[in-house]
Structure formats: structure tokens, C-alpha cells
DNA sequence: CAATGATCCTGTCCGC
DNA sequence: TGCGGACAGGATCATT
């Protein structure tokens, strides 16, 4: 499931694929996958990308005609580059058609992913309330502590809340909590300053490492060139029977999602 | 206002 | 062999 490092990996690949090329069309094969802003003009193509950026798990692609794409992969969305296919691929929900018979396919088994095409001035109105960007300057002990203050919910649930920190998902939250030795059930407001500082530090370390590895290929995540990421080799508790020290891990359900942790290493 | 639950989907895996 | 059910899970909306 794509989280911040996977989204960044996909966005880097997508940026490279469309750079300096005309986008000729965006076709949709599944109702609801592509959403058109009512204020968006009817004939936006051809157009070229002038910038791409990421906000949490959202990718934002700005075009030179005043419009933008907002892409969210949700759980099973993928962007796949090709130069050959013409018929829709299995689970292909949309495709970008580029000059020179090049294509970028939006493949999404569970159909939760979205591509919003809107005027660039309307981008922010399509984004939800998103919290701290963990790889930006704003992410620090002070800003995170302020967000955790008076949050009674378990730290696991709070770190998954995109309005607190934008970009973390189940895998990285489990890994960060293991590496900081914090039990996922700990009420967020009860964490001491040292623990919060550790979360900031490990969060940045783990996310940067994962980006460097091209993301985590659990289940079916792939880069745009269909290569796997490699961070799964560095996972310490997520879907593991034992932690690196050989202790048996536990699995509990919090907010409907599995938390993996080590009852000995995490307190 | 916060916390919880249902919902959207389909491929995979497990038990019988 | 095949069927039913649980599970995976990000974000949104409804309910408590």
C-alpha cells in the first residue's frame, strides 16, 4: 500500500516519464476514477507539465495551461509506463496518453484511487486538512508535541491520522513505533518529550531510507518501471513473526487496522 | 468536538 | 475441487 516513500517513488518516476512531453489526453475507463472540476475547461490538451509535488500521499501535477492533476493511489493504485499497449490492461482505470505513442496507465484493482483534474487555483480545495510534512523543516519536536497534546487516542491511531502527520500509513507507523520502543497502545498525550523526539528522529530516518530503497513492495507495490522497491528487506516488525532480536511479535487490531509490535522491545 | 463504525472494492488465503 | 468468509486498508461520511 503506497505511503509517503512509495508515493514519492511513483511521483519521481511519473515526473521523469512526462517531462518535456505533451500530454495529449487523459482517458477514464472506470466511472469515478477521473473527476473533473466543473470550473475546468473542456479542451485542456495538449499540455505540458511545469511542476510536480507531493503533499502527504497526494501527488500534484501542474500543467502549463492553468490546470492540475491531483492523483491519489489509495491502497492498490499504480502508475505504469509503457509504449505498446492500446487495449485497456487488467484493472486499468485510466491512462495518460503522451506524445510519441507513450502511455502511463493508472492500474487500480480496488478502484479507490482517484485522479482529479482541476484548475490549478482550485487544488487546495480538493485536498483534505493535512498535517505536518515529515520531511520538511516544519516537522520537529515542538510542532509534533503540539499536535499530540491532549490526544487521548493510541499513538498508533494518531500517527495514522493524516491531519496530524501527512504521509504515514500502517507499515511505517508500525516500524517507527518498534524503532522507538513505544507500544502502539500508548495514549498519545502521555508520551514524554524523549519519546516524541525519538518519533521525529526515527520517522525522518525510516522515510528517507525507504525513499532511497524505492519504497516497500509489500503485496503489489511497484515503481512506474515495474521494478520492486527494496525497503521490505529492512522491515523489523510489520508482518513479521519475530522482531530482529528473536522475540515473538504480537498483532492487535486498532481502529480496524493491524498493529504489529514486539511486547518485549516496546513499552 | 472527538471517537467509533460502516463503506467502498476485489484478489488472496484459509478452513471445511 | 470449490465455496463461503475473513482479511487487506486510506479516506470519507454517518453515527454516537
Low-confidence ranges of chain A (pLDDT < 70): 41-42, 216-228, 230
pLDDT for A129 equals: 87
pLDDT for A250 equals: 86
Contact A45, A118 (CB under 8 A): no
Measured CA A256 to C1' C9 distance, in angstroms? 9
**What is the value of pTM for the model shown?**
0.93
Q: Which nucleotide is nearest to A189 (CA to C1')?
A: B2
pLDDT for A235 equals: 83
Residue nearest to nucleotide B10 (CA to C1'): A110
Q: Which nucleotide is nearest to A2 (CA to C1')?
A: C10
pLDDT for A218 equals: 63
Contact A51, A15 (CB under 8 A): no
pLDDT for A252 equals: 86
Nucleotides of C under 7 A from a protein CB: 7-12
Kindly tell me the burial class for residue A150, based on how many C-beta atoms sit within 10 Å of its own C-beta (0-12, 13-18, 19 or more): exposed
pLDDT for A191 equals: 92
User: What's the pLDDT tens digit per position in A141-180?
Assistant: 999 999 998 888 899 999 999 999 999 988 889 999 999 9
User: Which are the catalytic amino acids of A?
Assistant: 2-3, 57, 257
Q: Which nucleotide is nearest to A128 (CA to C1')?
A: C11
Is strand B less than 7 A from the beta carbon of A32?
A: yes
Amino acid at each position: 500500500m503506497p505511503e509517503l516513500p512509495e508515493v514519492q517513488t511513483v511521483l519521481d518516476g511519473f515526473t521523469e516519464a512526462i517531462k518535456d512531453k505533451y500530454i495529449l489526453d487523459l482517458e477514464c475507463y472506470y466511472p469515478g476514477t477521473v473527476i473533473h472540476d466543473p470550473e475546468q475547461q473542456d479542451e485542456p490538451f495538449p499540455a505540458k507539465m511545469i511542476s510536480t509535488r507531493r503533499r502527504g500521499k497526494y501527488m500534484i501535477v501542474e500543467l502549463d495551461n492553468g490546470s492540475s492533476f491531483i492523483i491519489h493511489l489509495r491502497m492498490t493504485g499504480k502508475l505504469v509506463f509503457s509504449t505498446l499497449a492500446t487495449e485497456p490492461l487488467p484493472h486499468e482505470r485510466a491512462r495518460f496518453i503522451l506524445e510519441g505513442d507513450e502511455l502511463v496507465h493508472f492500474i487500480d484493482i480496488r478502484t479507490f484511487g482517484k485522479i482529479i483534474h482541476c484548475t490549478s487555483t482550485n487544488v487546495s480545495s480538493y485536498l483534505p486538512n493535512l498535517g505536518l510534512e515529515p520531511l520538511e523543516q516544519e516537522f520537529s519536536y515542538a510542532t509534533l508535541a503540539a499536535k499530540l497534546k491532549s490526544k487521548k487516542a493510541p499513538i498508533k491511531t494518531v500517527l495514522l491520522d493524516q491531519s496530524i502527520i501527512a504521509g504515514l500509513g500502517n507499515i511505517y507507523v508500525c516500524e517507527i513505533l518498534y524503532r522507538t520502543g513505544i507500544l502502539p497502545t500508548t495514549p498519545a498525550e502521555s508520551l514524554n518529550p524523549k519519546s516524541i523526539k525519538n518519533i521525529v528522529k526515527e520517522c525522518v530516518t525510516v522515510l528517507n531510507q525507504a525513499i532511497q530503497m524505492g519504497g516497500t513492495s509489500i503485496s503489489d507495490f511497484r515503481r512506474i518501471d515495474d521494478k520492486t522497491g527494496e525497503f521490505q528487506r529492512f522491515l523489523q516488525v510489520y508482518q513479521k513473526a519475530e522482531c530482529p532480536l528473536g522475540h515473538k511479535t504480537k498483532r492487535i487490531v486498532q481502529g480496524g487496522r493491524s498493529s504489529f509490535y514486539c511486547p518485549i522491545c516496546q513499552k
